[in-house]
Chains A and B, each alone.
Chain A
Amino acid sequence: MKGLLASLSQFWVIWIVLNVPGMGLAADLTVEAPQYSSGLKLGLNWTVPTVQSDSLLIVRSGVGPNGPWEIAKSGLQPSETEFVDKVTDDAFRSPPLEQYWYRVVGLAAGMTVKKDPDSLTQLMASSLFQLEGSGRPEASLFKHYPGIWMLLLIVLSVAAMIFYFSAQVRKGNGSKIRRIAGIDAIEEGIGRATEMGKPVLYVPGIDNLEDIQTIASILILGEVSKTVAEYQTDLIVSCCIPIVREVADEVVRSGYYRAGHPDAFDPTSVRFIASDQFAFCAGTNGIMYREKPATNIYLGRFFAESLILAETGYVNRSIQIAGTAEATQLPFFIAACDYTLIGEELFAVSAYLSQDPRLVSSLKASDVVKLVCVGFLVVGIVSHSLGLGFIGNLFSLTGGLP
């Protein structure tokens, strides 16, 4: 009899907890979409209840405040007070719903979390506490941080100034580029190779085509191949990435066509060596030892193999011109190569070689933006020194400096 009464009372307690809103549940859980969110995340914040639990379980429902529930996160420490939940892993197949309900469930020691809905419901029913809350994911169309606006302004400024300075050039107000010894040396190196009857070796870096340095190198390769074709010298292009080889092949072929020597193009001159860094380095070194190029041109993104390549070229007494924006490799190139193009000079080579007014005007545009950035730097240094952080916050991409 006593046992029956105990079971009935337990049944009624569980029934009340499950069905009467707010009974056994605390509403100390806030669910909000993060600022400028993608619409796939919700941030949960709760106050730690006085009841001591062994771990916390977070469950989510897209249907209603009473479930059905699925596990969002299990095994949280009892001292945790916040969590960011990604409401769906595949937004195409299961797009985010309008509203989500959450419960933060405090579990006692020995309680095992299982995924099936029935076990989960029983677990929640026997939990120490449950905090409930709900929220709506909000997908923003634009990140309204000051830094994002500044970034957009910089990009649009560069584009606008390119058009402005191009118009100036058409009116006759041309721009001059200062002499860059390394770029002048490219043509001199090709001439040297022609005189010696040896090829020119061109290495467009070892990074993928999506890297801007590789793209800049391929643009330069177009001009170099045109000059090589005009001088009727051999060109060897050593590529680490197959897709870069395909683009380089097309660019070199185009260079020969533009120079008026389409038949001089050798399809085997643009070579894929290996996709591994040091295998590529070994293969390119082999080319240097066997084919003994008179001029080596390294333009693009390089890593540890940079010095091995440059030193091998030095041993072979090649004239070497290198250019990269990779600051860690610049010292090696400066030590081992005859000419080194540093950082932004790499991106100026195609304009310098082609002397196309539109390309030269883009250099002027980036120089103007550089001056503006220097101005902001100076103002920022002074303002931060005086304890005013507004300049730094103006360029913050995440809403403000800590």
Chain B
Amino acid sequence: MRTTIPLVLTFIVGVFMVGEFFIPHWGYQQVKSLVLEFGAVVSGVAFFLGVINLVQVNMPVVVGREDDWQYKLILLLSMAAMMVIGLWEGTTRMEDGAAYKWLFDAVFIPLNATMFALLAFYIASAAFRAFRARNAEATVLLLAACIVMLARVPIGEQIPGIGEYLSRFQNWLMDVPNVAGRRAIFIGAALGAVATGVRIILGIERSHLGGD
């Protein structure tokens, strides 16, 4: 019973949601929207469980003064502060002058931007390692990368004799082989996704249900 009911529910809801693409009737679409709202409510409730998990994982480290407990304390205090301030200010929390908005704009956004900015340096270090002419395929990758990078900067077009052709070749490279490869990946992934979805709806794949 513990696995049968979820399997039956999965089948019924799965078939119903697949039908959304085939049945345009407004009654069907309204029920589908309702089911999606149910899912959104469940996901919203799961946020409470996420907060509980954060406390469960980090509080023992702080209490026991284990390694790096200070970082856990900052995490818990930051979470508590945002929660309290957000609840206190309520619907006005994102208005100008609100403390929540100030914390969001002055702390959270810059920290986010900092992490994103690191990406540029990580790209450089990964490219330095990856673009090595170890074999034929790696050499082709290296040449293609060099051509695209050179053609994308203004100085590439200024190279006498080949500047114009470099730009055209780069455009062809991005529009033809690159798009062809990406579409092949999309098609393969889409069919794999269909097969995975069918396996789950038919109950062939059951490991996501957990259980003993």
Identify the A interface with B (CB < 8 A): 36-40, 91-92, 95-96, 139-143, 148, 151-152, 154-155, 158-159, 162, 166, 208-210, 212-213, 215-216, 218-219, 222-223, 241-243, 245-247, 250-251, 253-254, 257, 267-268, 270-272, 275-276, 278-279, 281-282, 286, 290, 304-305, 307-308, 310-311, 325, 327, 330, 332, 334-336, 342-344, 346-348, 350, 354, 358-359, 362-363, 365-366, 369-370, 373
Beyond known contacts A242-B43, A276-B108, A307-B126: 6 more, CB 8 A cutoff: A216-B196, A242-B53, A304-B119, A308-B119, A327-B182, A343-B185
Residues 51-110 of B at the A interface (beta carbon under 8 Å): 53-54, 56-57, 60, 67-68, 71, 108
Contacting B46 at CB < 8 Å: which of A37, A246, A308, A365? A246
Minimum CB–CB distance from B5 to chain A (whole Å) comes to 15
Q: How far apart sit A242 and B48, CA to CA, in the bound complex (Å)?
A: 8
- A158 in contact with B194 given A141-B25, A143-B24, A290-B68 (CB within 8 Å): yes
Contacting B185 at CB < 8 Å: which of A141, A272, A330? A330
Closest residue to B42 on the A side, CB-wise?
Answer: A243
Confirm or deny: B136 has a beta carbon within 8 angstroms of a beta carbon on chain A: no
Residues 95-136 of B at the A interface (beta carbon under 8 Å): 108, 111-112, 115-116, 118-119, 122-123, 125-127, 129-130
Q: Which residues of B contact A213 (CB under 8 A)?
A: 193
A-B contact pairs, 5 of them (CB 8 A): A95-B26, A152-B22, A327-B186, A369-B191, A369-B194
Q: Which residues of B contact A218 (CB under 8 A)?
A: 207-208
Q: Which of B149-157, B158-166, B167-175, B198-206 contacts A (4 or more CB under 8 A)?
A: B198-206
Q: Which residues of A contact B54 (CB under 8 A)?
A: 271-272
Closest residue to B31 on the A side, CB-wise?
Answer: A92
Q: Is the CB of B125 within 8 A of A311?
A: yes
Q: Which residues of A contact B115 (CB under 8 A)?
A: 278-279, 281-282, 305, 308
Confirm or deny: B189 has a beta carbon within 8 angstroms of a beta carbon on chain A: yes
Contacting B126 at CB < 8 Å: which of A336, A350, A365? A336
Q: Which residues of B contact A250 (CB under 8 A)?
A: 209-211
Q: Is the CB of B57 within 8 A of A271?
A: yes
Q: How many residues of B contact A (CB 8 A)?
A: 64
Q: Is the CB of B116 within 8 A of A362?
A: no
Please report the number of residue pairs spanning A and B whose Cβ atoms sit closer than 8 angstroms: 213
Q: Is the CB of A37 within 8 A of B24?
A: yes
Minimum CB–CB distance from A17 to chain B (whole Å) comes to 36
Q: How far apart sit A216 and B208, CA to CA, in the bound complex (Å)?
A: 9
Contacting B26 at CB < 8 Å: which of A91, A210, A215, A247? A91
Q: Is the CB of A347 within 8 A of B42?
A: no
Minimum CB–CB distance from A97 to chain B (whole Å) comes to 12
- A208 in contact with B43 given A154-B194, A342-B185, A343-B192 (CB within 8 Å): yes
Chain B 129-145, CB-CB to A under 8 Å as 1, else 0, gives 11000000000000000
Closest residue to A333 on the B side, CB-wise?
Answer: B126
Minimum CB–CB distance from B72 to chain A (whole Å) comes to 10
Confirm or deny: B177 has a beta carbon within 8 angstroms of a beta carbon on chain A: no
Q: Is the CB of B189 within 8 A of A344?
A: yes
Contacting A212 at CB < 8 Å: which of B24, B47, B108, B196? B196
Minimum CB–CB distance from B91 to chain A (whole Å) comes to 21
Q: Which residues of B contact A348 (CB under 8 A)?
A: 192
Closest residue to B29 on the A side, CB-wise?
Answer: A38
Q: How far apart sit A178 and B116, CA to CA, in the bound complex (Å)?
A: 38
Q: Which residues of A contact B146 (CB under 8 A)?
A: none
Closest residue to A280 on the B side, CB-wise?
Answer: B115
Q: Is the CB of A362 within 8 A of B195?
A: yes
Q: Which residues of B contact A276 (CB under 8 A)?
A: 108, 112
Q: Which residues of A contact B129 (CB under 8 A)?
A: 335-336
Closest residue to B210 on the A side, CB-wise?
Answer: A250
Q: Which residues of A contact B192 (CB under 8 A)?
A: 216, 325, 343-344, 346-348, 366
Q: Is the CB of A308 within 8 A of B198?
A: no
Q: Is the CB of B188 within 8 A of A219?
A: no
Q: Is the CB of A268 within 8 A of B22?
A: no
Contacting B208 at CB < 8 Å: which of A152, A222, A304? A222
Closest residue to A324 on the B side, CB-wise?
Answer: B189
- A334 in contact with B188 given A212-B197, A242-B47, A243-B42 (CB within 8 Å): no
Q: Is the CB of B205 within 8 A of A38?
A: no
Closest residue to A239 on the B side, CB-wise?
Answer: B50
Q: Is the CB of A307 within 8 A of B26?
A: no
Contacting B188 at CB < 8 Å: which of A154, A210, A370? A370
Q: Which residues of B contact A40 (CB under 8 A)?
A: 26
Contacting B210 at CB < 8 Å: which of A142, A158, A254, A362? A254
Minimum CB–CB distance from B77 to chain A (whole Å) comes to 15
Q: How far apart sit A358 and B206, CA to CA, in the bound complex (Å)?
A: 12
Q: Which residues of A contact B123 (CB under 8 A)?
A: 307, 332
Confirm or deny: B12 has a beta carbon within 8 angstroms of a beta carbon on chain A: no
Confirm or deny: B18 has a beta carbon within 8 angstroms of a beta carbon on chain A: yes
Q: How far apart sit A308 and B116, CA to CA, in the bound complex (Å)?
A: 9
Q: Which residues of B contact A215 (CB under 8 A)?
A: 196, 200, 208
